[in-house]
Amino acid sequence: MVSRMKQDNRRRSDSKMPNRIVQLVGPKYVSILRTWVPTLAGWGTVCGVALVHFTDWRLFLDYVPYINGKFKNDD
């Protein structure tokens, strides 16, 4: 019984940060944010690909090891 209480207390102490966020912002807005996270991640990916597509792609892709070695002689 005592070990069970210690485990429960550990779980509560480990999750202090999310509880602080919930207290600061409120549970309503935390639940809204959780539903928007996949959408924001998708749009962030689309914007990142569009940025590479519409700008100088070498500027970004020079940091990718395989592509960086593939076009070394290209000036």
Residue 74 has pLDDT above 60, yes or no: no
DSSP 64: S
- pTM, two decimals, is 0.51
Say which residues have a Cβ less than 8 Å from residue 61's Cβ, sequence separation at least 6.
52, 67, 68
Please report whether residue 75 resides in a domain. Answer: no
Please report whether residue 43 resides in a domain. Answer: yes
Please report whether residue 20 resides in a domain. Answer: yes
Please report whether residue 12 resides in a domain. Answer: yes
Task: Identify the domain containing residue 30 by its residue range.
Answer: 2-70
User: How many domains, in total, are found in the chain?
Assistant: 1
- The pLDDT score that the predictor gives to residue 59 is 76
CA torsion sign for 40, 46, 47, 49 is positive
For 31-40, the pLDDT digits (tens) are 898 999 999 9
Please report whether residue 55 resides in a domain. Answer: yes
